[in-house]
Structure 1
Amino acid sequence: MTRTALITGITGQDGYYLSKLLLSKGYRVVGLVPPERQGSVAKLDELANQVEIYSVALTNSEALKTAVQQLQPHEIYNLAAPSFVPDSWRDPLGTLDLITGTATRLLTAIREVGLETRFYQASSSEILGQVQEAPQSENTPFRPKNPYGAAKLHAHWTMVHHRDRYGLFACSGILYNHESPRRPPQFVTRKVALAAASIKLGLSDRLKMGNLDAKRDWGYAGDYVEAMWRMLQSEHPEDYVIGTGNLHTVRDLIATAFASVDLDWQKYVEIDPALLRADEHFQLVANPTKAKQVLGWQPQVSFEALLEKMVQADLDRLQTGSLSLQPFEKLA
């Protein structure tokens, strides 16, 4: 029997890699896409013709219930969220409704329709916020520091309440930074990869950066969606911290990206005081022991291989003309 998976946020980075994984496993993959975002389906590239798109407003409880009733999904992956965390300060209520509202409506639909659908909620290390310990595990207290993190935490607890009160099979993945060639250029990893590629090709000659000592736990998005899928195949619904457990500085990030194209980063990087800001995530690093022991999950792509993937992808885009630097000049 073909299994059906519904995905919100299917046109984002994680939606692409999750769709690719599920299609490879023989799933019928259906993206729940708001009518005003139909044009973004093109971002799925070669997968656009392999997945089904169901047009529905994620703010409409009855419409989502109808979708669940019609599609009878075995699994739902709720990835819907703003793609860039700082944007949540400009629209905190919209962020709350997109993240928490969508989770609540989908969980309610599963319960009211009476299905045994397994539900995955995309949580985030942002719910941990101002951490007092490092590394962080599933037992680390939650202390979000921005509207995005607060909304993700609300959605996380909403999922837990539905699991505890109604017996739904629902899981949350507390994911740390995960990157890929599909990251938008406002993210520092893609900004650096694009700069390395463009400098290598002689299309630019500098990269403006802020705090090079800021540290992050960076992994590969393709590995992290595997963890999402494994959570819904497990015997019991539980929540998991997903990350590499390794911290790298922004300096490491730049050096690794530039080294992948044989460039000395120090010749091209310029510190811009306007980009310096207090780093509030200095010790945000995962302890993924539970995921490794219970799910058998391990990151497969190293930090170095991830950066090489990203730089190579931008080299290819720039050389084939499928990417222009002009829209990103303000990011340099």
Structure 2
Amino acid sequence: MAGRALITGVGGQDGALLARLLLDQGYEVAGIVRREPAAYAESLGELRAAIELVEADLLDRDSLVAALRATRPVEVYNLAAPSFVPRSWDEPILTAEFAAVGATSMLEAIREVDPSIRFYQASSSEIFGEPRETPQTEETAPSPLTPYGVAKTYAHFITSSYRRRYGMFACCGILYNHESPLRPVDFLPRKVARAAAAISLGLERELVLGDLSARRDWGYAGDYVRAMWLMLQHDEPGDYIVATGESHSVEELVACAFDAVSLDWRDHVRSDPALYRGSAELHDLVGDASKARRVLGWAPEVRLDELMRMMVEADRARLQDAENAAS
């Protein structure tokens, strides 16, 4: 369904990858931003010239109405929310406002401007908290533990409520951890990839991490934004788990990263108990994406070792460019 698409959170990892995918599919793409468009030149790179940036505030329904009327999208992808989960404990009110109230504001704006617009809401595996079953499916009861997870659970439920109450084409993608070279260094996989790259270039010597036995279902963000798009191309709206279905430990992820530069991670990585997350660490988050496979024809294409190699190589290139620029 090519046409015009509007993305919130276009300056983030998923927003940039989704914008690129939609452009490749023949869409005209607009993105909602909160700051001057010029501030996004670095995060969007070459995409900045290809997409229209519109200033609006997710917490201001009137500004969203104006943005929708200006851009006239056939699809809206709501990806905007604070995404670094540990920080949600430091900013619980801000997290609730943008992740929960922001989704409601957008749904209300769509309902006023054009209820036929197809809407995608970025949900999260964090809604399951300490899950009651493993792997999780679309029928698994949410049990969030973090402010981020609680806010995302609200957004998840309000989206399905608008679908039922108003007949809107509104979908939620329950995405598990997904990474790419565009991830900020705050996130563990990017932190590991950058360290492996720096150590391989002789720029650093050691990487200190927390619990190496912690496990996650990690996938490639490029695969996951394809699932978002497929949801809005289907005949009927629905909610979908988007995951690899595979659980990997931090140690496995680290090994993949250091293998990419032919180093033994045990020579360079140290675990510090002071960095363990304790009760904040979630366990058994593994997604069953059978519905997405069956209904949408979606499947992840990039394995963890391929993902980490991609990220390490991107960081090696960044570091080498910085070295060359400084010399």
Whichever residue aligns with residue 291 of structure 2, its letter is K
Distance in 1, matches of 2:323 and 2:124, equals 32
Equivalents in 2 of 1:131, 1:170: separation in Å?
A: 25
Distance across 2 between alignment mates of 1:294 and 1:8 = 26
Aligned-partner SS, 1:157:
helix
Q: Is the 8 A contact 2:75 2:232 kept in 1?
A: yes
Distance in structure 1 (CA, Å) of the matches to 2:69 and 2:125: 32
Give the structure 2 partner of residue 154 of structure 1. 154
The separation in 1 between residues aligned to 2:118 and 2:13, in whole angstroms, is 22
Aligned positions of 1:273-312 closer than 5 A = 273-278=273-278, 280-312=281-313
Q: What is the root-mean-square deviation in Å for CA atoms of aligned residues?
A: 1.6
Q: Which amino acid aligns with 1:144?
A: P
Identify unmatched segments of 5+ residues in structure 2.
none
Cα shift readout 1:82-130 (whole Å, capped 9, x = no counterpart): 1211111112111111111221111111111234100000000000111
Specify the code of the residue in structure 1 equivalent to 2:282: H
Structure 2 distance, partners of 1:172, 1:323, is: 44
Match for residue 327 of structure 1? none
The amino acid that maps onto 1:299 is P
Q: Is 1:318 equivalent to 2:319 in the alignment?
A: yes
Give the AA of the match of 1:274.
A
Q: What are the Cα deviations for residues 51-86 of structure 1, in whole angstroms up to 9, with x where unaligned?
A: 110011222111111211222110000000112111
TM normalised by structure 2 equals 0.96
Unaligned runs of 5+ in 1: 325-332
**Structure 1 residue 36: deviation in Å?**
6.0
Contact 1:99 1:151 (C-alpha < 8 Å) held by counterparts: yes
Q: Which moved more, 1:40-49 or 1:222-231?
A: 40-49
Distance change (3 Å), C-alpha of 1:104 and 1:319: same
- One-letter identity of the residue aligned with 1:288: A
How much has 1:268 moved relative to structure 2? 0.8
Query: 2:76 — aligned with what?
Result: 76
Counterpart in the other structure of 1:195: 195
- State the identity %: 51
Matched pairs, number = 324
1:48 partner SS: helix
Equivalent-residue separation in structure 2 for 1:38 and 1:82 (angstroms)? 21
Aligned equivalents of 2:184 and 2:37: distance in 1? 17
The within-5 A match list for 1:1-332 is 3-35=3-35, 39-278=39-278, 280-321=281-322
Q: CA separation in 1, counterparts of 2:95 and 2:271?
A: 32
What are the superposed Cα offsets for residues 197-217 of structure 1, whole Å, 9 maximum, x if unpaired? 001000011110111100000
